[in-house]
Structure formats: structure tokens, C-alpha cells
Amino acid sequence: MISVLRLLSVVGLLAVASAGHAEQWLHYGGDAGGQKYSPLDQINTANVARLEVAWQYSTGELTRRPELQSKWAKVQVNPILLPAAAGGHLMICTPFGRVIALDPATGTERWVHEPDTRVGGYGTPEDPEGLKSPGFTNCRGVAYWTDRSEAPPAFCGQRIFVATHDLRLIALDAPSGKPCPDFGQGGTVALEATVLAAHPPAAIGEVKFSGPPLVINDVVVLGTSVRDFYRADAPNGSVRAFDARSGAARWSFDPVPRSAEDPAYGGWTEAGARDTGAGNVWGLMSADVERDLVFMPTSSPSPDFYGGTRPGDNRYADSIVALHGATGKLAWYFQTVHHDVWDYDNAAQPTLVELSKDGKPFPAVIQATKTGMLYIFNRETGEPFFPIEERPVPQGGVPGEVLSPTQPFPVRPPPLVPHEFKAEDFWGMTPWERNACVKAYGKTRYGKIFTPPSAEGTIMVPSSAGGVNWGGVAVDPESKILVTNVLRLAHFAQLLPATKAEEVRKSMQENMMGAPARILGTPWAIKQSALLSPLNQVPCTAPPYAELVAVDLQQGEILWRGTLGVWDHTLPPPMAAPYSLPLPLKWGTPTFGGPMLTAGGLVFIGATGDDRLRAFDLRNGKEIWNAILPTGAFAVPMSYEIGGRQFVVVASGGHAFVYQKAGDQITAFALPEAQP
């Protein structure tokens, strides 16, 4: 149960509703600021070993969508719990946009909304068969809104918002699941025509909604997922906002400034500002509701890995951007990567926490990055909490490239992952395997972070997958401890003349990510993959490949770190390797998803390719419990209390690239009986 003092100290996390029902997890990430923290402490370090499965629910998507390959569906949803007045449902969505209300105590299905989402790939003149491909499908969550006007309507006064892959924003009555007739057209705002026509224009499937909408006051904000690695003039990556009552458009923000009046336009060329796309927000956004601020992590501009068509720093891409929620006007921004040619998107949700500096309150927002660096700012002004230095970085890109001579490095905390690759870092399980790695990659370019992609090939550290990816960080608001999972794999990127791309492709027997793909609108094709041994597809770098890391935010110091994941699960074809040896090797597996902290002193996290949900002691990082799930939980756990019993819930569905063991389950854990 929640102690009275702790309840009062965690401002904004709890609002007690009728019938003893606490509004404990109303947003993706727990609260609007994305702390991923539960103030519940019934489950704690003393009793977590007694956790057992309380219920398990299958969405049925594996059987409902037999025409789709399971690898295309990403089960990454973070459920939310509605207040009793809104039905008290546990709300989830499936990768195909179905919205499902569950009984939070039993997992029993209460209602389902089927949006009949069209799932299609990339139908373009260059790829006329594209619409026959399902494309990646995802729904990381739904959003809740309550009408706080003087006379809110009885029906649709409390709403669920979901954004679909075919570019619709849908509003549902939270208690019943029925569409809200006064929102858009019969409950739906259809945005496909608007989004696809924006400059640069898009083809069907190139732009999708996958993240949960962000609700701030009476505004619903949507980011987009834009196709990577394909063309220089990729689709527009604008963030759009809508009225929560009517669905009317309120504002939009393009991360590529198109007007000379924009304060970030000065670093762009006319052609670059006109033709560049992306810079979109495909990760999670956060909100400071009282200050009416939206915090957006923007991605790299198009194209990835080559920036000759977009010289300059390319601001607002690869930035944390703060906008006023009511108007969309810029408050401040900071760019974490200048002129990105490494696919170092900002994917992690900005996370809000109250710190202190020089004896005064410091309302902070934290941006975790794929580079493994943590940037901490005053969320009102953008002032850094710790100094940030512009430091020289490697130069010498391919012909036509103009790199930034410096990049921004925070003085503290230190990077959470390695920032350099040296010759002695080549590794293999045997001397023969190490030699194979050296033979395959020894003549490529490598060195410190921000070594650019090259014609001879470049070993990138960290990988383009991170560092810290979309799963983000979790923060204890009392101890000011941050915890995150980090990926420690190296990446290989090579720019080949576009005229040779097909020739090289035909000569290769490589996985999907390794084959070269032409970057339309440039003279180059990109060949990229994890840095894997040609003998057995095991990484050419030494373990650990993933870690869980804790940081003291006030001091900017790493408190502890430990390996995350075990290589003891054999995967089905075609992903029999890597990390699928039936041996208890504590090497860490590729990690996607994120952690949750609780007032019980625990860190809960799945996010590994070994089917486990784990609990760690927040004080020292010691693993003290784990349970086997139906498949890998590449998602973020959440927690709530119902009827005097605390539950920990996580979704599991495998991962399209690194763990193709399909699933569609939501699993809830609890202690055997209610605890005092």
C-alpha cells in the first residue's frame, strides 16, 4: 500500500478517485512526464521473490492476422489504467490498432474497438508491389482525456485516443468504447490525404502513426514514423496537434524549417530546407501540463548516413524541442547531434524530474540518446544542468559530405556506453572467430564516436540502435536515481556507389539489414548491419552486449551497472543466431523496451531476448527475481493497485529484427494474496 507521506510527496502522480480506485498509471510511462515510476510499495525487495502470474491475456492477433508474417508486428504497448469514473479499465492496443479494455484485476476482456486498419507497405513507382507487403505495424499505447469544462457531456466526457497506421486519429468514449460522434467525422479524423500531400510528398505506407498520442490540457499531439534509408527527399516529419473535443487542427510543427523567418533556418541551404524530410518524432513525447510545454525528441533528417544533400547542422532535427502546447510556438530547443550521418535519432521519451541546483529548485527534463549521453535541461528555459561542451570529432566523410567539426558532449554524467573502437577490441569466441572478424572488418575505418560512414566501411560505436533507444529511462522522483537499459553492440556502415549496389547485392548472402540499399536522390547506397562474425553471426566485440545502468542525477555519477540478458534461448528460423546458444552465458542480449521503478525499491524490466521479466534492487543493481514469459517483452512494464493487491503488467511479442519468436500476450504478476 502507499504510505500517506509518500502519497503526498509525489506531486501529480496520484489522484485518488471514488471507490478507493487510484489513478496510478494514466499515461504511457506512468505520468505525463514519462518517469516510468510507480509510487506503490506492496511489492518490495523483501517479498518480490513470491511474485506469481495473476492472469494472462492473449489479444488473438497471431491467429486473427494469419496473412501477415509475425515478424512485422511489434508488440510494444504500455497499458494505461483508467480512473473508476471512466470505467476503471486497463487499456491496451494491438499492433493493428485494435483498442481493448480489460478488467485490471482478472484480465477479462470488457470491450473491443476494431478500427479495421489498412496495413500496407510502400507502394511507389519504384516499388509497385509494395502494398502487398504488410510493412511494420505497431501501437505503443493509447491516451486518456477528460473534459474539465463546466458541463462536460455524460457521453464522451472521458475519451480514449488512438492513432492508427493508416493515419487516422480516433476518439472513443472511455467507459463504453463507442466512437465519439462530435469528434471529426463520427469519431475519426482522417489524416492520410493531408499527411501524404505534405512537402516532400509521401507514398502510402511511408508515414505512419505508431506512438501513443500525447494529451496536454485540451490538445492531442501526434508524431509520425517516417520510412528510413530510402530517399533524400523523404516525407515531411511534422508534428500535428488537434482539439480534443472537435478534432479540429490546432497547429503543426515541421522539424525542418521551411521559412527564412524560422530561427533555425539560417543553418540550412535553400535546397536543403526545401527538399529534406523526416526529422520526425517517432519516439515518445512528454508534457509539463502546468507549464503548457510539450517536449519532443526529433529524429535524423533524410537521408540517413549521408548528408551531402542537406549541408549544415540541420536543426531542429536530432534535438529536444520544447513547444507551447496550446499554440505550437517554440519555447526552446537543443540539438544533441549536428548534421547526423549515423542515424543517432533521439528516440527516448524526454523525462521530467524535480532537481535542485545551487540550493534552488531546478525543474528538469532529461533527454537520453542513442550516443549513450544524458542531457539535462531546465524545462522552462533550456539551461543545461551540467555544462555541455562542443568538442572536435573525426572528419573525412565521402565526397560531397560536409561534416560538423564539433559535437556537443555533456560534462556529466559520463557516457553510459563505449565511445571508441580500437584494433584490440576485435573479439571472437575462439581465436579463429576473432581472426574472421579481423579479416572481414580489419581494413575498415574505426576510432572514436562520430567517425563518419565511409567508402571503405566504418565501425560505429555506439550502434545506430543505441545507446539508449525508444524504451528510454525511468526515474525515482525521491532518490533522483535514473535507470536505463543500454545496448553495447558496434555497427557497420559502408557507402557504396549507387551504380554498384545491385552488383554487390547479388554477390552477397547476407541478412536483411546487411544488403546494400540505394539512397534515392544521392550517388550512394548504404550497406549496414550489426558488427557480426561471418562465421557464426556472433558479435565481433566482447560481451556484455546489454547493461542496466543507474545514475545519480544530482551528482551526475554512475552508481552501478550490470549485464542484462542471458544467451540460453534457441530461436526459431531464420533467426537461429546470434545470442541463441542453449548455454547460460550472461553476456547480455540486444535490448529494446525500457525499465519501470517502484517505491518498493525495485527495477522491473523485460527488454531482452531470453523471455524474462526481471526485478533488480534499485540500491545496488542486484537481480532478485525473474519469471519466464511466452516470448521476449520488448516493451515497458507498468504497475497499479486494485482491491488491495499490486499488479505488475508487461506485454510480450518478440522483436522484428532481433527476436522473431512471436507472441501477443499481456501478463500480470502479483503476490499470492493481498499484503498488509
- Give catalytic residue positions: 343
CA gap 480, 302 in Å, rounded: 37
What DSSP character marks residue 543? S
CB 42: neighbour CB atoms within 10 A? 21
| Encoded amino acid at 78, one letter | N
**Mode of pairing for the β-strands spanning 207-208 and 319-324:** unpaired
Q: Read off the C-alpha cell for 502.
A: 545491385
CB of 348 within 8 A of CB of 487? no
Report d(CA 598, CA 543) in Å as an integer: 29
First-to-last alpha carbon distance for the chain, in angstroms, is 7
Cis peptide before 574 (omega within 30 of 0): yes
Give residue 618's identity as a one-letter amino acid code: L
**Nearest one of 352, 277, 292, 281 to 328, comparing CA atoms:** 292
Cell numbers that stand for 568 in this block: 540460453
Q: Is 344:367 a contact under the CB 8 Å cutoff?
A: no
Rounded Cα distance, 527 and 448, in Å: 20
**Residue given cell 519501470 in the structure block:** 596
| C-alpha to C-alpha distances, 525 to 402, 516, 544, 656, nearest whole angstrom | 18, 6, 31, 23
Helices marked H in 88-231: 192-197
- Rg of the chain on CA atoms, in Å: 23
**Cα 579 from Cα 576, distance rounded (Å):** 8
CB 493 within 8 A of CB 528: yes
Residue 158: phi, psi to the nearest 5?
A: -130, 125
Residue 29 corresponds to which cell in the numbers above? 510511462
Cβ neighbors of 461 (< 8 A, separation 6 or more) are 417, 418, 419, 420, 421, 446, 449, 490, 491
- The residue whose grid cell reads 540486444 is 590
Q: Is the dihedral of CA 519, 522, 523, 528 positive or negative?
A: negative
Residue 48 has phi, psi (to 5 degrees) of -60, -25
Q: Count of CB atoms within 10 A of residue 387's CB?
A: 9
Q: Is the peptide bond before 363 cis (omega within 30 degrees of 0)?
A: no
Q: Which residues pair with 360 in a beta bridge?
A: 357
Q: Cα–Cα distances in Å, from 365 out to 295, 375, 429?
A: 8, 8, 41
Buried b (16+ CB within 10 A) or exposed e, 278-307: bbbbbbbbbbbeeebbbbbbbbbbbbbbbb
Contact 653, 662 (CB under 8 A): yes
Helix (H) or strand (E) holding 436: helix 431-441
